[in-house]
Amino acid sequence: MKKFTAVFLAALMALGCASSSNINFNPGTYQGVAPGFNGDITMEVTVDAGRILNVRVVSQNDTPEISGLAYERIPAAIVAGQTLAVDVVSGATYSSQGIINAVSAALEKSGVDIAALKTRRPVAAAAARSSKKESYDIVVIGAGGAGMAAAIAAQQAGSRVVVLEKMPRAGGNTIISGAAYNAADPGRQASIPMNAANRAAIQEMISKTPHDAFEAELQQTIRRQFAEFTSSGKTGLFDSPEWHMIQTYNGGDYVADPEMVRTFGANALSALEWEISMGMQFTPDIFTVLGALWPRSHRPVMPLGTGYITTDLNYIEQHKDMITLLVDTKATELITSGGRVTGVKAEGPGVNYEFTARKAVVIATGGFAANKELRQKYNTQWPNLDSAGTTNHPGATGDGLVLAEKVGANFVGMDYVQLLPMGDPATGSLSGNIEQGVEDRFFVNKSGNRFVDEGARRDVMTLALFEQQDAYMWVICDKHSYPTPQTKNNFNETIEELIQQGRAFGADTIEELAAKINVPAANLRAAVAEFNAGVDAGRDKWGRTLWRIKIDTPPYYAGARIPTVHHTMGGIQINTRAQVLNTRGQVIPGLYACGETTGGIHGSNRLGGNALADIHVFGRIAGTNAAAERP
């Protein structure tokens, strides 16, 4: 990355930096402040009469694994180009814009014509492009969690691997995700008490008429497991791979491929332990992430999904003789020979690549939730999604689908687009979400009334939110979620910071909180009372069964949320070996896929926390099997 940055800066300097004519500063050093992704950014700029001499970061709170490249590239680009008309860094848009705005605020103090500086762009001479041919055992397209898992698994099986990433940094959606990882893990779940509501949920599932033979098989296994659990006298939470499978299958309306669900559930824990073996760290507590339906979500120690990608990058650094990672390098075409995929064409900085894959190619390019045209093309469930925000990074545009379709790959479940009720009202992102777990919070609408089971499926909650005024809600919690003002949410933001930014509200009484969020106090009091009664009863009129503790301890907190596009369940059809299938159901030789670019695993609705398990389970499978190819 440092080498690329040096090349980048050299290219900018080669532009000859536009003349300083018509741009005049009062010499000195100035500071400016502007909002970033996670709080204010302070930048310092030094100028002489005609030039910007230096731009440096004074303070910022953005997550370095996500926004670090913006802080590295943009100040350098401003100095090199002598302009504010610099490109944002893809994947770090909010931080990039915050840096530019803070520098603008600083330069305004110098008396310069800011409007002229914002439109002044040096013209680069067209750089000559070179051509390069390279050969590896495995070519992986995409450096998110799935692609990294595939690359590492392939290397561990003895293959030399190159990973191609079109964005300027590795991470994909994984690095900005909520990062919860679902796996039945009785050892870690033993400290969670098994309550009456949990038992009732299991009994209801195993007693109902099965949808098909697969569900009947799972029911039979779970009956035996649960009977053994009950007779053992254990007080901790019951869970098993089969209970995870049946909730996944049922929660996706039975349209997932049963064998894919089986493979997923059976390997979730081993894939988790595999990642831990490479240095990934999780907190000891198990929780229930939004829409998970059961307390089996593992929480990383590092914020968001940075822990997964940091772990993977550290591993790659230690094995760089076997794994090569190329960023800013976009795959443009799959190379085929005799019906077999044999390589990839790609475009990198100044280079046209042709990569030969001696064994196989793995597509791990993520979903298409950031592609408004594509998601609206397939959308059949939701109101128009053209203007909806998304939790996804800007590179989630479905590139892998385009590549795969050209070699005859089949797609499944493309109309299953998942929305969350948890988008930031301004950005659509997950940041600013004050919930720490499903059991310890509830939702109210603009009238201060509850309107849904807050432990339900994600699509159920989002559809209910669309029916509320302005499709707008408040998440309500208390001190149990934030023992101190410095307690952080899952996105590395303290409740104190969120309140200071006006993204959350805190109060010592329910009446005071109601006034701050402009809802009737009587309604909010009634909602709190209803929630607390549900804690005692284990179920309420909404059908909620996930409870832990009453909301009765100030400070009380509220944070606003709206619907946002989160995940695309449809994609490339694969089998349990992660081999890509064509439109006739046959394997396309030499081609594998994993992660959100694939379909058939989650059905019509993905359970919260299943994505991180999915990408590691099938990423590992794809890499291992690709490495075993014998063309």
For residues 13-40, average pLDDT: 73
pLDDT at 12 over 60: no
pLDDT at 7: 35
For residues 190-199, average pLDDT: 93
Lowest model confidence (mean pLDDT) among 11-25, 122-136, 290-304: 11-25
Structure confidence at residue 123 as a pLDDT band (50, 70, 90): low
H or E stretch covering 227 = helix 213-232
As given in the structure block, the two tokens for residue 242 are 């089969």
pLDDT at 429 over 50: yes
Long-range contacts of 265-268 (CB under 8 A, 24+ apart): 265/184, 265/241, 266/241, 267/617, 267/620, 267/621, 268/182, 268/183, 268/184, 268/241, 268/244, 268/613, 268/617
Outline where DSSP puts E strands in 25-129. Answer: 28-36, 39-47, 52-59
Q: Judge whether 362 and 592 are in contact, CB under 8 Å.
A: yes
The arrangement of secondary structure in 2-119, i.e. its CATH architecture, is Alpha-Beta Complex (3.90)
pLDDT at 35: 87
Distance from C-alpha of 119 to C-alpha of 462, rounded to nearest angstrom = 41
**Percentage above 90 pLDDT, the chain:** 84
What does the domain layout of the chain look like in residue ranges? 2-119, 174-189+257-313+364-416+569-627, 419-565
Q: Judge whether 559 and 481 are in contact, CB under 8 Å.
A: no
3-state secondary structure of 582: strand
Distance from C-alpha of 362 to C-alpha of 622, rounded to nearest angstrom = 7
Distance from C-alpha of 202 to C-alpha of 219, rounded to nearest angstrom = 10
* Catalytically active residues, by annotation: 458
pLDDT at 386: 81
pLDDT at 18 over 60: no
Write the pLDDT tens digit of every residue in 210-247: 999 999 999 999 999 999 999 999 999 999 999 999 99
Structure confidence at residue 19 as a pLDDT band (50, 70, 90): very low
Distance from C-alpha of 451 to C-alpha of 205, rounded to nearest angstrom = 24
pTM: 0.88
Write the pLDDT tens digit of every residue in 144-192: 999 999 999 999 999 999 999 999 999 999 999 999 999 999 999 999 9
Tell the CATH topology of 174-189+257-313+364-416+569-627.
FAD/NAD(P)-binding domain (3.50.50)
Residues in Cβ contact with 202 at an 8 Å cutoff, skipping those fewer than 6 apart: 222, 226, 238, 243
3-state secondary structure of 272: helix
Tell the CATH topology of 419-565.
Flavocytochrome C3; Chain A, domain 1 (3.90.700)
pLDDT at 21: 47
Structure confidence at residue 391 as a pLDDT band (50, 70, 90): very high
Q: Judge whether 366 and 173 are in contact, CB under 8 Å.
A: yes
pLDDT at 405 over 60: yes
For residues 86-106, average pLDDT: 89
Helix ranges restricted to H, 239-392: 241-251, 258-277, 306-318, 372-378
Q: Judge whether 129 and 352 are in contact, CB under 8 Å.
A: yes
